[in-house]
Amino acid sequence: MSKKYDAIIVGGGHNGLVCAAYLAKAGRRVLVLEKREVLGGAACSEEVYPGFTYSVCSYVVSLLRPQIIRDLQLPKFGLHVLPLESTFSPYPDGRSLMRSADPAATRREIAAFSPRDADVYPMFGKAMGQLARFTKPIIDERAPNPMSWKPRELMQLLKMGKQFRELGDDLGLLQYKLTTMSAVDFLAEWFETDELIAPMSCSGIIGTMLGVKSPGTAYVLLHHYMGEIDGSSRAWGFARGGTGAISMAIARAAQHFGAEIRTNAGVSQIKVRSGAAQGVVLEDGSELDAKIVISGAEPRLTFLKLVGEGELPDEFVTQIKRYKLRGSSGKVNLALDRFPDFASRPGIGMHVRGDISIAPSTDYLERAYDDAKYGDFSTRPFMNIVFPSVLDPDMAPEGKHVMSIFVQYAPYHIKEGPSHWPEKREAFGDAVIDTLSEYCPTLKESILHRQVLTPWDLEQEFGLTEGNIFHGELSLEQLLFQRPASGWAQYKTPIRKLWLCGSGAHPGGGVMGAPGQLAARDILLQGAC
C-alpha cells in the first residue's frame, strides 16, 4: 500500500515545524498535525483580549539556532528578532540595577552597589563566554552515546574531550564547578553583592523544581552566554509579533518547501503494529498512515498516552515514568490601560526595553522555593517580566501595553493535588499582582485584562505534562545522552518508525529549534523516510 505521507509530525510546536521544514526541504511529503487552532505550541502569540497580543507562554528567544534561520530563510518568511537591551532589577528599598550592552553604563550601575563587582562583571562575562564556546557545539550536534564503541560516537566524544582540553586548566576547572555547584555558590565566588547575585542566579532555576542554592543549578547560567543574535553573542531577543511570530515564520517556510499543516487536528493515538509505528488516529476518529511518525510532543505524553505502555519495554516505561517533569512555573499576561511605572525608575526607558527580574535577594528566592517544596505556590515569587508592547508597539493599541510575567514557583504538585489548581488560579494571580505592586504601585488600576496560566493549564491546554515548560527539567542528569532516556537519546525510540523531535529530546527546551533540526538530520541520514 502506498502511503500518502512520508512522515506525520505530531504537534505543531516550533520544533515539529522545524523538523517538518527540513524534511520537506529534502523532498519528503510531510504532514504536521496540531491540536490547537493556533500553531506554535508553547511558542505562540494569541489575541486573547481584543487588540492585545500575548506571547502566551514562551516570551523571549535566545538560542534559536542561526543555521536554522539561514537554512529555512526565516527572515524571508517574517522572522524579525529585536534585541532585548537590558536586564533590570528593582529592589523594595527603592534602589535598582540595570545591566545593559553598554559596558561603561553597566559598570557604573554595579559600582553603586560594589565598585569591586563592577570590575569583576566583565571578567565574569569573558570567562562565561569562553565556556559557552565550548558548550555551544554540544547543542548543535546530536548527543554522543558514551556507552557505544561505534566510530561515529567515539569520534564525537573525542572531539568533545579535545575541546575540553583546549579550555586549559583554569577554564576546565571552572566548567567543572559550573556543572556541580549551585548558582548562588558559583556566583558568590565572583561577586560580593547579593543584589547582583540574586537576579543573575535566577537563570539557573527557570523551569526546574530546584532553588538557587540547589547544587547543579549553576550550569544553566551558561545558557545566558550562549545566545546569539545577528552573529554577535547577545543574551536575549524578542520576536516582532511575539514568540508566535517565530513559529509562524517556520510554518510558512515549511509550507513553502511543501509541508502540509493541519490545525484543530489533535492526535489521540499513535498506531503501532508489531513494534512499528504505522500512523496516527485523530481525535475525530479518522486515521492517517505514514512511513514514519515523529512526535514533537513531550516524551511522557508521547509514550504513555499516545503509544501506550503495552507496546513498550518495561525498563523504558520505568525510565519515562521517572523522567522529571515537575513543572514549577506559571505565566501571567496582562493587558494594561497605561504603562505601570516602576517606583525605583519611572518612565519608559531602556530599563523596560529588556527583561525585568523581581529577585531582590537570594534569601527571597530561596523562600519562594520553600513555599514550593511543600506544595504551595510562592506567596512572593520570582518573576521575569517583559513589556512586548514597548519593543513592538503593534502588540497593543496605541498608548496601551502588554505585560508578560513569568512566575516561579508554581509547583504542579500542590498539596491539594494538581487538579485543584483551577480553584487556586485567581489566588495565584493575586499573589503575583500584589507582589508586583510593591514595585509598580499603579499596576492594579491599569489592568484591563489578566490571563493566569498555572502548570495545570499548561498541561491541559498545551500538552506540557505537569506544566514543565522545557518538556522535562534541564538538569544535567536529563541532558545529552540521557534525554529523555538512556539509550534513546538520538531521536529514535523503542518503537520502530517512531521518532522524537521535541524539547524532550537533546539538546532540550527553549525556542532553539535544535531538536527539530537534529532529528530531521538523523532521519534523513538514516534514510528512515
Partner 1 sequence: MRTTPFHPRTSELCTSFAWKEWAGYAAVCRYTPHSEAEVFAVRSTAGLLDVTPLYKYDVRGPDAGEFLAYVWTRDIRNIGVGRVVYSAMCDEDGWMLDDGTVARLGPDHFRCTSSEPWLSWFLKHARGFEVQIEETTDSICGLALQGPRARAILKGITDFDMDRMRFFRVRKTMVGGVPAWVQRTGYTGDLGYEVFCANEHALQLYDAICEAGMPHGMVPMGLDALDVARIEAGFVLQGVDYITAKSCLIDGLKSTPDDAGLGWTVDIDREPFVGSAAIASERQRGPVWDLVGLEIDWEALELMYASLGIPPHLAPEACRQSVPVYDEQGVQVGQATSTTWSPTCKRYLALAQVRRPHHHLGTELFMEYTPLFERQKVPVRVVEKPFFDPPRKRSTPGAAPVSVPAPEAEE
What's the CA angle centered on 33, arms 333 and 312, to 5 degrees? 105
Residue pair 295/320 in contact by the 8 Å Cβ criterion: no
Sole window of 60-68, 110-118, 415-423, 469-477 interacting with partner 1 (rule: CB under 8 A):
110-118
Distance of CA 383 to the CA centre of its chain: 15
Cβ proximity to partner 1, 110 vs 403, nearer residue = 110
Q: Does 130 contact partner 1 by CB under 8 A? A: yes
**Least separation in angstroms between CB 124 and partner 1:** 10
Three-state DSSP at 273 gives strand
For the beta carbon of residue 35, count every other beta carbon within 10 angstroms: 20
**Least separation in angstroms between CB 300 and partner 1:** 41
Residues 6+ apart with CB under 8 A from 386: 59, 60, 84, 238, 354, 355, 356, 403, 404
What's the CA angle centered on 33, arms 31 and 38, to 5 degrees? 125
- Which helix (H) or strand (E) element contains residue 498? strand 498-500
**Least separation in angstroms between CB 188 and partner 1:** 15
> What values do phi and psi take at 436, rounded to 5?
-65, -30
Q: Does 350 contact partner 1 by CB under 8 A? A: no
Q: Does 116 contact partner 1 by CB under 8 A? A: yes
For the beta carbon of residue 453, count every other beta carbon within 10 angstroms: 23
Count of positions on this chain that bind partner 1 (CB under 8 A): 18
Select from 78, 129, 172, 397 the one that contacts partner 1 (CB under 8 A): 129
DSSP 379: S
**One-character DSSP codes across 63-90:** ---HHHHHHTTGGGGT--EEEP-EEEEE
Range 60-74 burial, b when 16+ CB lie within 10 A, else e: bbbbbbeebbeebbb
Residues across the chain: 529
**Least separation in angstroms between CB 111 and partner 1:** 8
Cβ proximity to partner 1, 191 vs 491, nearer residue = 191
Select from 26, 38, 82, 105 the one that contacts partner 1 (CB under 8 A): 105
Cβ proximity to partner 1, 166 vs 477, nearer residue = 166
What's the CA angle centered on 167, arms 165 and 171, to 5 degrees? 120
Q: Does 123 contact partner 1 by CB under 8 A? A: yes
User: 258 to 287, contacts with partner 1 by CB under 8 A?
Assistant: none
- Give the ranges where 140-257 is alpha helix by DSSP (H): 151-166, 168-180, 183-188, 194-201, 244-256
**Least separation in angstroms between CB 200 and partner 1:** 16
Q: Does 321 contact partner 1 by CB under 8 A? A: no
- Which helix (H) or strand (E) element contains residue 289? strand 287-295
DSSP 14: H
Cβ proximity to partner 1, 126 vs 150, nearer residue = 126
User: 45 to 104, contacts with partner 1 by CB under 8 A?
Assistant: 102-104
Select from 38, 120, 304, 350 the one that contacts partner 1 (CB under 8 A): 120
What dihedral angle (degrees, nearest 10) is formed by the CA atoms of 485, 489, 491, 496?
A: -60
**Least separation in angstroms between CB 335 and partner 1:** 35
Q: Does 128 contact partner 1 by CB under 8 A? A: no
Cβ proximity to partner 1, 131 vs 251, nearer residue = 131
**Least separation in angstroms between CB 115 and partner 1:** 5
Three-state DSSP at 227 gives coil
Cβ proximity to partner 1, 73 vs 130, nearer residue = 130
Cβ proximity to partner 1, 120 vs 524, nearer residue = 120
Cβ proximity to partner 1, 331 vs 353, nearer residue = 353
β-bridge partners, 294: 9, 499
What dihedral angle (degrees, nearest 10) is formed by the CA atoms of 439, 440, 442, 444?
A: -90
Contact letters (x/-) for partner 1, 191-230, by CB under 8 A?
----------------------------------------
Sole window of 87-95, 119-127, 417-425, 483-491 interacting with partner 1 (rule: CB under 8 A):
119-127
Cβ proximity to partner 1, 118 vs 368, nearer residue = 118
Q: Does 119 contact partner 1 by CB under 8 A? A: yes
Q: Does 349 contact partner 1 by CB under 8 A? A: no
Q: Does 159 contact partner 1 by CB under 8 A? A: no
Select from 69, 118, 254, 288 the one that contacts partner 1 (CB under 8 A): 118
Select from 107, 177, 234, 449 the one that contacts partner 1 (CB under 8 A): 107
How far is the C-alpha of 100 from the C-alpha of 393, rounded, in Å? Answer: 21
Residue pair 223/139 in contact by the 8 Å Cβ criterion: no
Residues that bind partner 1 (CB under 8 A): 102-105, 107-108, 115-120, 122-123, 126, 129-130, 133
